[in-house]
Chain A
Amino acid sequence: MNKINSIRKDWSLIETLIAEDRKILDIGCGDGGLMEQLENNRNAITHGIELNRDLAANAIARGFNVVHGNAELDLSQYSNNSFDYVILSQTLQAMMKPKDILSELLRIGSKAIVSFPNFGHWKIRLQLLISGKMPVTESLPYTWYDTPNIHFFTIKDFLNLCNEMNIVIEKSIGLTSKGKQFDISESVTGVNFFTHEAIFLLSYKNYEPIKIKSSKKVFAKNSVIAN
């Protein structure tokens, strides 16, 4: 499976997680390929962020709403819940602060879709074990000194982080290196071993909003002042 096919496969799986007529933010949107797909097939309203100047320019020239910028600095400008889905495809491992990004995704979006290459895949484990060198694979094709991927993690690590952050995994799709697709949550044993790439649909646990009872309107007034 080459790189392009792998991304296309990723996109078509992402598409299956998205309902019709939704508002979507694609982080690292490139020249707008996924945005185009979701506009065409899901009637989505799409926005994108792209760090690479030329890719951003291409996307804008193709008519997409794309902001040339750095997600790690620029996500804070979006309001809470301003998107139905925020997509981070194949880039969490390249972020300086993946945990912060994850919580930003779910602040901005009602749901987040995150996909990443699994560092716990058996080929990677085997490479490190046998050669004693940092693994170089199809999904992680860079040498250690020039890789944009600075935070390697496995599915197990990701699940632990979600648990710690009270993030609910609504759906999870795994892909083997042969492109075979399966549900991560249903196949417990060996998942972390066989999953080549993983795609997660995430949301926060629904807490009951805290209601403060007050017979007078004084409280509301004060809260206005406090703002």
Chain B
Amino acid sequence: MKTKFNTDTKLESEIAYFENINLKLESGDIIDSFKLAFKTYGKLNADKTNAILVCHALTGDQYVAGNNPITGREGWWSRMVGPNKPIDTNKFFVICSNVLGGCAGSTGPKELQNGSDVAYGGNFPSVTIKDMVKAQSLLIESLNIEKLFSVIGGSMGAMQALQWAIDFPDRILNIIHIAGALKHSAQNIAFHEVGRQAIMSDPIWKNGKYFENNEVPERGLSVARMIAHITYLSENAMHRKFGRKLQSRDIISFGFDADFQVESYLRYQGKSFVERFDANSYLYLTRAMDYFDHDETFRKNIEFSHNPNNHLKYLIVSFTSDWLFPTIESKMIVNQLNSLSREVSFLEIDTDKGHDSFLLEEPQLDDVIKGFLTNNFAKIDE
């Protein structure tokens, strides 16, 4: 990609504005101006060699660590990113940006259309993982960072990390790809479709124009979240956590109240989600994941890329109980990289916590990420 670096780019209170940049999307649509909300942690060193981009998953945001002002809670990966954490901000300069199409301050369906006082809603162009990464690359450029030491992400974040390796191999040294795949599987698309249908069949959705009446399709969005949340867990984890335990009662009600703890938990997950996430954004981002497919093209891209990518190191991690992005999907990436003699490490972590494991307490994940980063960083310092 030839980036026309625009002087109109300005960094302002953790929002980067890219004006008149005419970002061409994979769909062919063009966004003339856009903004990315981002957060940084730690300090960029003098040689600018210690920058790490963390890519968030479907419903994540730029608040990877510290306090998240939207939820009032800790950042989504604060157990991983921070001083003396596995991704150590005493050592590394960590950047995390809200993806294009997101709803935490970056340009997306919730934001006003350029030069108007109406939000995009359903008029927002379709974005892909490739588009998100392209936008991120402009952000990194505007921060005057030539080369990222690492791009790290789980789930949709892993997709972005892989896309970085494909599109900008000369601008990164390694990727850490957790619980991801070369493609979004039919089953995953199916789950997303059910979620989208839940939103779109909510009468308040109104073709994406719910904001005109200051309304939110809460029911649809919360059902979408409930379905998705099930896919992030595993049967064992659910059983361990809830079993058939009843919620605030001793006997079943013979009705449709949330008798079971698991029901109550899912309702809570759905309810709290609508407070922080935009329904249209959910439609667009799930679609972006659905469109992700490097099954046929990954090998060619890596093998015949005109970009120098031989130096790239890959760390691929999967979880035994992840049925959304099962180990076999990660192994396909590993197979292709090995067949091209690339520097790849792979670990399947044994856990019953399902797809969400990457966000949870998994000491082996911490150890591997910390060691991989520390030792590989020491090698470039030599």
Contacts and interface: CB of A to CB of B under 8 A. Distances in A.
- A in complex with B: yes
Interface residues of A, number: 22
A65 B335 contact: no
Interface in B311-343: 313, 315, 331, 334-335, 338-341, 343
Contacts of B344: 65, 67
Contact of B338 (A23, A62, A63, A77): A77
B110 to A, nearest CB: 40
Contact of B345 (A66, A79, A82): A66
B25 interface: no
A78 B338 contact: yes
B375 interface: yes
A78 B344 CA distance: 12
A83 B340 CA distance: 11
Nearest to B343: A65
A67 B345 contact: yes
Contacts of B340: 79
B368 interface: yes
Contact of B371 (A61, A74, A82): A61
Contacts of A56: 347
B224 to A, nearest CB: 35
Contacts of A63: 371-372, 374-376, 378-379
Contacts of A68: 346-348
Nearest to A53: B350
A23 to B, nearest CB: 8
Nearest to B315: A60
Contacts of B339: 77-79
B80 to A, nearest CB: 15
A60 B345 contact: yes
A57 B368 CA distance: 6
A135 interface: no
Nearest to A47: B343
Contacts, number: 67
A184 B80 CA distance: 53
B313 A65 contact: yes
A66 to B, nearest CB: 5
Nearest to A75: B338
A140 B335 CA distance: 33
B345 A64 contact: yes
B201 interface: no
B367 interface: yes
B382 to A, nearest CB: 12
A68 B313 CA distance: 16
A60 B347 contact: yes
Interface in A33-56: 47, 53-54, 56
A69 interface: yes
A79 B338 CA distance: 8
A61 B367 contact: yes
A82 B371 CA distance: 27
B364 interface: yes
Interface string B239-278: 0000000000000000000000000000000000000000
Contacts of B343: 47, 65
Nearest to A66: B345
A54 B364 CA distance: 8
B206 interface: no
Given A60-B368, A65-B313, A68-B347, A82 B375 contact: no
A69 B328 CA distance: 12
Interface in A61-110: 61-69, 74, 77-79, 82-83
Interface string A2-32: 0000000000000000000001000000000
Nearest to B366: A61
Contacts of A78: 338-339, 341
Nearest to B342: A65
Nearest to B340: A79
Contacts of B219: none
Contacts of B341: 23, 78-79, 82-83
A32 to B, nearest CB: 10
Nearest to A54: B364
A56 B315 CA distance: 12
B348 A62 contact: no
Contacts of B370: 61
12 contacts: A23-B341, A47-B343, A54-B364, A61-B375, A62-B375, A63-B374, A63-B378, A65-B345, A67-B338, A67-B346, A77-B339, A79-B341
Query: 9 tightest A-B contacts by CB?
Result: A63-B375, A61-B371, A77-B335, A82-B341, A67-B346, A60-B345, A77-B338, A68-B347, A65-B343
Interface of A: 23, 47, 53-54, 56-57, 60-69, 74, 77-79, 82-83
Given A53-B348, A60-B372, A83-B341, 16 more contacts: A47-B343, A53-B364, A57-B364, A60-B368, A60-B371, A61-B367, A61-B372, A62-B371, A63-B374, A63-B375, A63-B376, A65-B344, A66-B346, A67-B334, A67-B338, A78-B339
Interface of B: 313, 315, 331, 334-335, 338-341, 343-350, 364, 367-368, 370-372, 374-376, 378-379
